[in-house]
Chains A and B, each alone.
Chain A
Amino acid sequence: MFADYSWSELGSIFAMQGFAGLILFSVFVLMALGLAIIFGQMGVINMAHGEFMILGAYVTWLTSNLFADHLPGLFGGFFFVAMIAAFLAAALLGALVEWLSIRHLYHRPLDTLLATWGLSLLLQQTYRSVFGAREVGVDLPGWMLGSVALTDIVEIPINGLLVMALTTVITIGVYLLMYRSSIGLRTRAVVQNRSMAGAVGIDTGRVDRLTFAIGCGIAGVAGSAFTMIGSTGPTAGQAYIVDTFLIVVFGGTASLLGTIASAFTISQAQSTLEFFLSGSMAKVLTLVTVVLILMIRPQGLFATKLRR
């Protein structure tokens, strides 16, 4: 398989596949970040995370149509507005869901998993009823199409760069929020010792809701990015949920850096393998390797050493 290519050719192939996978990587990072916040910090498994992402994608689509119809002159910048709208929409829905349902299930993690699966069914059906069963595509403004040539073989798509930049900003933002702000401090306090945090006056219910909402909001932004690599449909989120969970667990739920490293490894492994194998075998091979590693090292590949 690899023997057919020279070293420099292989290098170029890896680089090209790497950059081609930029957006996929960014989507994974954003999804995994959102889920890591929810799961890693709160122990809640959100099986509807893919549907929050798709909500962001639909909002992006709606925004794109809105600008195209009513504000054609500003169409070039619609994407930034869409992102913010996607974040807000997903975050609001997340807060509502947490208030209605999740907060009653914190002591039953497996049941949260099942309840959020029910939610994902509900959301899929809602999308189908509201937006139709067919997939929709988002048109990008001209400046976002096209690529920048690095070498004579390697080209980087502009929208990939944009999404990467966006992801970096959000990641830094999340880090600052979690580890440098008072909100983050309160969240970590609640996670580590709920009753104590409540006893010192932290509104644990509010903190939980905010955390869940932020996690979902980030998924919404992932949805915006997602519109660049796939068509948006009611069930499109399903394809990403398993990968996202594996990334979160593989990276060790304790550190954001681990999550990023994990997303990078898995998405790059998949896109690189896709060059040499068929699409399905690449996915199978990647997933099998991840699962095997997880079976041998359950705390994830990048987790720090635990007290055992």
Chain B
Amino acid sequence: MNSFSTANPSTLKKHDLLSLAVLALILLVALPLLLDIFRLNLVGKYLSYAFVAVGLVLCWGMGGILSLGQGVFFGLGGYGMAMFLKLEASTPEATAIQSTPGIPDFMDWNQLTELPAFWVPFQSFPLTLAAIVVVPGLFAALIGYAMFSRRVSGVYFAIITQAIAAILTVLVIGQQGVTGGVNGITDLRTLLGWDIRTDFARYVFYYVNGVLLLGALVGALYLQRSRLGRLLTAIRVSEDRVRFSGYSVAHLKTFVFCIAAVLSSIGGALFTLQVGFMSPTLIGIVPSIEMVIFCAVGGRLSVFGAVYGTLLVSGLKMSLSESFPELWLFGLGAVFIAVVMFLPYGLAGVYRGLSERLSARFLAGRVSGSAAARIADPS
């Protein structure tokens, strides 16, 4: 029997659709019913981080490209949205008491008298949306290709992405006149005239976030099941062989790195909308690695693992760091070490191992002996 039918393997498998349905049920139905708006808003914040974790599944879990600077892209999207919202809140009428009305308050405090050139495009919503997708993508393409075409990878690549996160943090904090400095961009009020601070707005953004995340998951799953997904695994396992089979490895790596960057950027923009501000504490080394932790704990090869991992770790952080602040950091460090050492495929790996064994035992009773033996035999 030829078990490889012509059915296109890129088609999402049945269990993918099932997992999507379960997640959609949890995110879009169960949680809004069970949680009050305050907590739901928190979940929404975590879901914006989940975009980064999903991107990391693609570039790190599958492709072996560890980026310790995804906060940079998260920040590019977040700041882009924040700039638009800030400009909207800084109309001449609203800022009449400033020395220079019509510009954001922090610029006024820093004695700026006009809007810096790079802020101007963010007066338009379509341009802002475009920038959120294009700017991180371009940046990732530039630095990605520069490094991948020179065979910079692995640890070196990770260090350089970390350096870039550090550079951006220092830059943003240092140039407080044009970026809001260490406080970030705050006091955001309306989106296209519509107040973003009301409960209703928070519900809407939560659903928008949830739906977009599910959409991103569909795309990520398609990529995973496609030839490109298998190529990423192949690159991680034997990069030379991929190159000598006629593929441009640099192009493939750059592509997946850009996807991860754009996903992170979208997450950042959704963060700004739901939380109402953006600051440099979300773009540097520490948040970047935290998002890697989400992905590692959830399961670096599973996009669903990434989402659940993000929710779990963030939720734990919220509940523990308030009651047991000392214990929390200790616990986080220890959990991270343990996961990396003993559970390299995260919770998703554990889940998969369990479900495979359960289904083997379940099916063994219903299928003929030889088939059961084949399924039960792990090799």
| Chain A residues with a Cβ under 8 A of chain B | 39, 43, 45, 101, 104-105, 108-111, 113-115, 117-126, 128-129, 238, 242, 245-246, 249, 278-281, 283-284, 287-288, 290-291, 294-296, 298
22 contacts between A and B (CB under 8 A): A101-B337, A105-B341, A109-B155, A111-B340, A114-B289, A114-B292, A114-B340, A115-B336, A118-B333, A118-B335, A119-B337, A122-B330, A242-B159, A245-B162, A249-B159, A284-B167, A284-B171, A287-B163, A287-B166, A287-B167, A287-B170, A290-B163
Contact A115 B155 (CB under 8 A): no
* Per-position binary interface string of chain B over residues 1-38, scored 1 when its CB falls under 8 Å from any chain A CB and 0 otherwise: 00000000000000000000000000000000000000
Q: How far is the CB of B143 from chain A (nearest CB, A)?
A: 7
Minimum Cβ distance to chain B for residue A37 (Å): 15
The bracket for how many chain B residues form the interface is 35 or more
The reply to whether A125 and B174 form a contact with Cβ atoms under 8 Å apart is: no
The interface-forming segment of B80-88, B114-122, B144-152, B264-272 is B144-152
Q: Which residues does chain A contribute within 8 Å of B66, judged by CB atoms?
A: 110, 113
Contact A291 B337 (CB under 8 A): no
- Within 8 Å CB of A294, what residues of B? 152, 156, 160
Please report which residues of chain B, range 279-296, place their CB below 8 angstroms from some CB of chain A when the two chains form the complex: 285, 289, 292-293, 296
Q: A124-B329, A125-B329, A284-B170 are in contact. Are A298 and B156 (CB under 8 A)?
A: yes
Are B163 and A246 touching (Cβ within 8 A)?
Answer: yes
* B242 contact set on A, CB distance < 8 A: none
Evaluate contact between B170 and A280: CB separation under 8 angstroms: yes
Measured CB to CB, the closest approach of chain B to A167, in angstroms, equals 23
Q: How far is the CB of A10 from chain B (nearest CB, A)?
A: 25
Q: Are B341 and A115 in contact (CB under 8 A)?
A: yes
A223-B316 Cα distance, complex, nearest whole Å: 34
Given A113-B155, A283-B170: A245 in contact with B163 (beta carbons within 8 A): yes
Contact present for B167 and A291 (CB under 8 Å) = yes
Which chain B residues (16-62) contact chain A, with CB distance < 8 Å? none
Q: A101-B337, A111-B344, A114-B296 are in contact. Are A295 and B160 (CB under 8 A)?
A: yes
B289 touches A280 (CB 8 A): no
Residues of chain B touching chain A, judged by Cβ–Cβ distance below 8 Å, are 64, 66, 143, 146-147, 150-152, 154-156, 158-160, 162-164, 166-167, 170-171, 173-174, 285, 289, 292-293, 296, 326, 329-330, 332-337, 340-341, 344
Q: Is the CB of A280 within 8 A of B174?
A: yes
Tally of contacts, chain A with chain B, CB under 8 A:
118
Most buried by A among B162, B289, B337: B337
Of chain B, the residue at the smallest CB distance from A110 is B66
A294 to B150, CA, bound (A): 10
Contacts A114-B296, A287-B167, A295-B152 given; does A242 touch B285 at CB 8 Å: yes
Known: A114-B293, A122-B333. 13 other contacts (CB 8 A): A111-B344, A113-B66, A113-B155, A114-B336, A115-B340, A128-B326, A238-B285, A245-B163, A249-B160, A284-B174, A291-B167, A295-B160, A296-B150
Q: Which of A117, A288, A295 contacts B289 (CB 8 A)?
A: A117
Partner of A298, one of B152, B164, B166, B296: B152
Interface residue from B143, B155, B163, B174 paired with A242 (Cβ < 8 Å)? B163
Which residues of chain B come closer than 8 Å to A298, judged between CB atoms? Answer: 147, 150-152, 156
> Smallest CB–CB gap between A299 and chain B, Å?
9
Q: Contact partner of A104 among B152, B335, B341, CB < 8 A? A: B341
- Between B147, B160, B164, B296, the greatest number of chain A beta carbons within 10 A of the residue's beta carbon is seen for B160
**Residues of chain B within 8 A of A280, CB atoms compared:** 170-171, 173-174
Q: Please indicate the chain A residues that have their CB under 8 angstroms from the CB of B162 in the complex.
A: 242, 245
A110/B167 contact (C-beta < 8 A), A105-B341, A242-B162, A291-B160 known: no
Bound form: Cα–Cα A288–B158 in Å: 16
> Cβ of B337: which chain A residues have Cβ within 8 Å of it?
101, 115, 118-119, 122
The minimal Cβ–Cβ distance linking A90 to chain B, given in whole angstroms, is 18
Query: Quick one: closest B residue to A123, CB to CB?
Result: B333
A-B pairs with the 3 shortest C-beta distances? A280-B174, A121-B333, A118-B336
CA distance A30 to B289 in the complex (A): 26
Task: Please report the C-alpha to C-alpha distance between residue A278 and residue B162 in the assembled complex, in whole angstroms.
Answer: 22
Q: How far is the CA of A104 from the CA of B166 in the complex (A)?
A: 30
User: When chains A and B are docked, how far (Å) is the Cα of A139 from the Cα of B64?
Assistant: 47
A118, A249, A288, most chain B CB atoms within 10 A: A118
Closest-CB distance, B341 to chain A (whole angstroms): 6
Pick the most buried of A122, A238, A246: most chain B CB atoms within 10 A of its CB. Answer: A122
State whether B159 touches A245 (Cβ < 8 A).
Answer: yes
- Tell me how far the C-beta of B174 lies from the nearest C-beta in chain A, rounded to whole angstroms: 3
CA distance A290 to B66 in the complex (A): 20
Residues of A within 8 A of B333 (CB): 118-123, 125
Contacts of B174 in A (CB 8 A): 278-281, 284
How distant is the Cα of A104 from the Cα of B167 in the complex, in angstroms?
A: 33
Docked Cα-Cα span, A245 to B69, in Å, equals 15
Q: List the B residue with the shortest CB-CB distance to A308.
A: B151
Report the Cα distance A128→B173, complex, angstroms: 25
Residues of A within 8 A of B143 (CB): 295
Residues from chain A with a CB closer than 8 A to the CB of B335 are 118
Tell which of A109, A123, A245, A288 has the most Cβ of chain B within 10 Å: A245
Q: Across the interface, which residues of A come within 8 angstroms of B146, CB to CB?
A: 295-296
Measured CA separation A82–B332 after assembly (Å): 32
**B-side contacts of A295, CB under 8 Å:** 143, 146-147, 150, 152, 160
Docked pose: A296 CA to B150 CA in angstroms: 8
